[in-house]
Structure formats: structure tokens, C-alpha cells
Structure 1
């Protein structure tokens, strides 16, 4: 049975954290969430753009570089210190890189930026989300991942999460795999959250092919973007998942734009792979305890 996300409601007295909020669908989303009354934590890497967006919407700017896990820990510490309640965490930041490279932590850039960093941020903020859920309307506290239909072209190898083997293919193979990791992470979150206290749901979504700066400005991408949706349209699933009074699908669902269930790679349905990915991710970011 296919369901459709309802429009966002008023978000007064709700705090929403959005990463990758200084450009693209993140920027479009935070503008609308603020218009609906939310207190928005605008998280970005570029200082000028992030502060500009935060100033425009009356939110607060938070700077973080996901290629450095110590920066993610600092971000979580600041968010927890300044936000006694967090109703929605939207892990929206993501990128492709044209050439394989390693972060300061020794991980492949796409894998760390698109999966490990949001995994760590989510783990560090989840206790606050669970606490918030005790006083919030049922089903209104959520963790949202910006995934992609690119997950259909991903392939997860737990022995090669840093994408050391195989053709680089301009980074799109690693990107597709990272988006499949987002779906697996979401499904394992949905399994774990109820036993951690409940009240928090997890969802992932595909925004559509968006006409933004994502993917670079090569000839293929420039031509393809002529068929893309606007950043405002691409932001609509994020806005609705953050702001709808209820989500008409069980926690763990993946939305293709506004519809669920969306198509996912076969590995996305492997519960054992999701559990093992969680354990390996926790080891790689040096987390002794997770939910």
C-alpha cells in the first residue's frame, strides 16, 4: 500500500536541526520550516553561507566539517548545550567527490561525510531526542535522512566501506553505496529506538533529481539538471517529514519524494547487514555505547 506524506503543520515551540543547511534543499527547507514557526539550528560547513542563512530565518548558525569527526563531536556538544529540546534531526548534508581521498580520520571522504559523520551525530543527539519525546505528541519526534534513488546502484561490502576496491567512476559508485547505507541506518534506527525508550521515529527519503550545486558542473550534470526539479520542490519531502503532524507510514520507511514505500536496493532489506553495519560504524567512530 502506497502512502503520501501530508503537508507540514505549524511548528511553533519545536526545534529542528538541519545539516547541509547553507545551500541546496537544506537552505530551502530551513526557510520554510522557520516560516512555519520552528526554531531552526542551521548546520553548515561554509561559515559565510551558514551564517547568512541563519540570519535570514532568525535561526542560529552551527559550523561543522564532516570530514573531521572531532568537529562532529564539537557540533553535538554545542547543540546539546544550546537546545534543551530537539524534536527533529534532519541529516541532510551529503556530497560526491570526483577523486578518491581520505579524511583526517583516515576514512574515504564520501563514506565518512555521507554516513559515518551523521551516524555519530545521531548517536550523540539521540538521548536528547528520546527525552524530548517524553513530553511531545506521539510520533512527532523524528530522525530524517536525506538518501537518494542512487541507493539502487549501491553495494555494501563491510570489508570495503572505504571504497578502496573497484572503479571510482567519478565518485558516483561510492555515492550510491553511501545512500544505501543511509537506508540501512534508518531501518536499524527504527529497530533500536523503541527498545531505547520509544517516541522517536526514523525515516529516509529521495528528494528527486535536484537542480542545485550538487554533483558539480560537468557537461553531463549540466545537461541532466535541465530535467531536474527545483531546490524548493526537492526540499518538500524533508519539510513534510520534519513538520507533518503525523507520518502515515511505520518508522523505518523510505520515501521516494512524497510516496512510501520507495524502491530500494535488495541489500536494504537485509536486517542482519543493517545490524552489522551499525556495530562496525560504532567501532569506527569509537562509540562504546549506542542505543
Structure 2
């Protein structure tokens, strides 16, 4: 029987690639994206349902959760893949720094709003993180909004580290209830996820010459697909961070349960949970 797999950030890049791969594998894929036209195009090509939500507006995340709960009696895999790197510090209409909200808060809120359904389904939650969590983060639990110190690169690294902290805390809180969470690095992907950024990020991901050094969306998508198709505890270990389909190192902060708990508590307060 096909499983229901919800993929956010699936209007292009590795999300769209994984959606194609999982559809070919016979799974029931649900495509979620920010751009209505691009999301509808991917869904139409695959013959799958789609929904639109822009994570820079948390009310859209709440609306998305309500529609998913109404429409899908099971959610076997939730792939929190939406994210991006941006330019100058920007505050959303919700009052939070854009990079932190899009990369962490949106997925945190969606996951929690779907929590009962996910537990009922013994679901896997797959977080698209990055090696940036280790290489570029300067994580300060007292400055999650980058008010004291900000750069686009650091904000992205902090957001990707938040993905890993969230993964580990999910496993601690709900692993005994049958939920399995995992984070992974898809590679430096030749996609448009840095189109809204400036400087070296934009050059690396949009310049045709630099793009030749990047990993294809098909390969990056296959790493998400491998986790989505895999069996927790057999093919991959819940609570871990993966690269190239193998456990990998990330920031040492990711192993601090006190930081993970505080991030959870502060995030819950921000989104009103």
C-alpha cells in the first residue's frame, strides 16, 4: 500500500527531484511549495496533489497544517525540506528574522501542528539540514534572531544547526511514541535556493561556471528519497545526521540536550504552542 509522503520546498530543487523519485517508486507524494505556479507545475507533471505555503508567513503554515489534517488520514513521512539563504537581515511580518523563520520555525510549527497525526502514523520526519551547521554557524541561544551579530552565511548555518537540534529533540521527546526523526546534508546542490541571497552565495549557486562544481538536484534528491523510503532503526538511525547516506559529523552543539530543549521551548513560545 502506498505511503503518504509530504515534501515541503518541493516546487524545485531536491524537493521536486525527490518527489519524482518517490512517485516513480509508487508512493503517494504530496507536493508543498512557496511559488503557486512552480508548485502546480511539478504536481501536474507527477499527477499528485499540491498545496502552497510561504514560510515567511506563519499563518500560511497554520493553514497548510489544517488542510493536510483534513485531507490526509495518514502522513507516513514528513520531509521538512523548505529553506534558503537570504541577504541582509530582514524581519518577517511575524516579527522574526527571515532566515531563522524559513529554515527552522516554519518546519517546527508544521511538525507540531501535525504531531498527533504523525504519531498515529508512526511517521518518519526528515529534515534537510546542511554541513553549514558545522562550518558556518555561530549559534547563540540568547540571540536566535541575529540582533546582536548578523551575516547571511552565519544565519543560514545557525538555521541548519537548528534543524539538527530539532531532530534530536524530536527523537528524545517522541521516539518512544513511534516517531522517528533524522537530518541530512544533501550536498552543495545546483538549485535556486540561494536566488534571494547576495554576494558569494548567489554567485556560487547562480553562476554557470561555479554551478559545475555543485551536486545535481537528482543526486541530492536521492539522498532525501533514501531516507524517506528507508526503515528507521534498520536503514538509518533516528536522531542522527547523515551525509552520503551515512552518519556524519555536525556541530558539537547539536549533541547538547540543554541547548536543544531551550531551542524547542523558545520556538514553541514564538509560534504560540
TM-score w.r.t. structure 1 length? Answer: 0.87
Q: Which residue of 2 aligns with 1:46?
A: 35
- C-alpha displacement of 1:156: 2.0
Is the partner of 1:284 in helix, strand or coil?
helix
1:182 pairs with 2:153? no
The residue that corresponds to 1:263 in the other structure is: 249
Counterparts of 2:203 and 2:267 in 1: how far apart (Å)? 36
How many residues align structurally?
Answer: 264
Asked whether 1:151 is paired with 2:133, we answer yes
- What is the CA–CA distance in structure 2 between the aligned matches of 1:245 and 1:93, rounded to whole Å? 23
Distance of 1:157 and 1:187 partners within structure 2: 18
Give the SS at the match of 1:29: helix
- From 125, 129, 137, the equivalent of 2:118 is 129
User: For residue 163 of structure 1, what is the aligned residue in structure 2?
Assistant: 146
- Contact 1:155/1:267 (CA < 8 Å) preserved in 2? no
The aligned counterpart of 2:227 is: 241
Residue 65 (structure 2) pairs with residue 76 (structure 1): yes
Kept in 1, the 8 Å contact 2:8–2:80? The answer is: yes
Q: CA deviation at 1:150?
A: 0.2
Distance, in Å, in 1 between the alignment partners of 2:217 and 2:116 is: 32
Shift of 1:56: 1.1
Aligned Cα RMSD in Å? 1.4
Gaps of 5+ in 2: 196-200
For residues 156 and 166 of structure 1, what CA distance do their matches in structure 2 show? 11
Alignment of 1:10-89 (within 5 A): 12-89=1-78
- Per the TM alignment, residue 55 of structure 1 is displaced from its structure 2 partner at its CA by 1.0
TM-score (norm 2): 0.93
Verify: 1:142 aligned to 2:124, yes or no: yes
1:173 aligns with 2:162: no
Question: 1:209 Cα deviation (Å)?
Answer: 0.7
Specify the SS of the correspondent of 1:183: helix
Deviation, 1:167, is 4.1
Q: Deviation of residue 249 (structure 1)?
A: 3.5
Aligned to 1:103, the other structure's residue is in SS state coil
Change (3 A) 1:202 1:43: same
CA distance in 1, matches of 2:236, 2:21: 23
Check the 8 A contact 2:5/2:78 in 1, yes or no. Answer: yes
- Following superposition, the deviation at residue 237 of structure 1 comes to 1.2
Counterpart for residue 185 of structure 2: 206
Contact 1:155 1:180 in 2 (8 A): no
Q: CA separation of 1:66/1:38 partners in 2, compared to 1, >3 Å: closer, same or farther? A: same
Residues 111-145 of structure 1 deviation map (CA, whole Å, 9 limit, x = unaligned)? 00000010000001121011112xxxxxxx30000
- Distance in 2 between residues matched to 1:208 and 1:264, nearest whole Å: 14
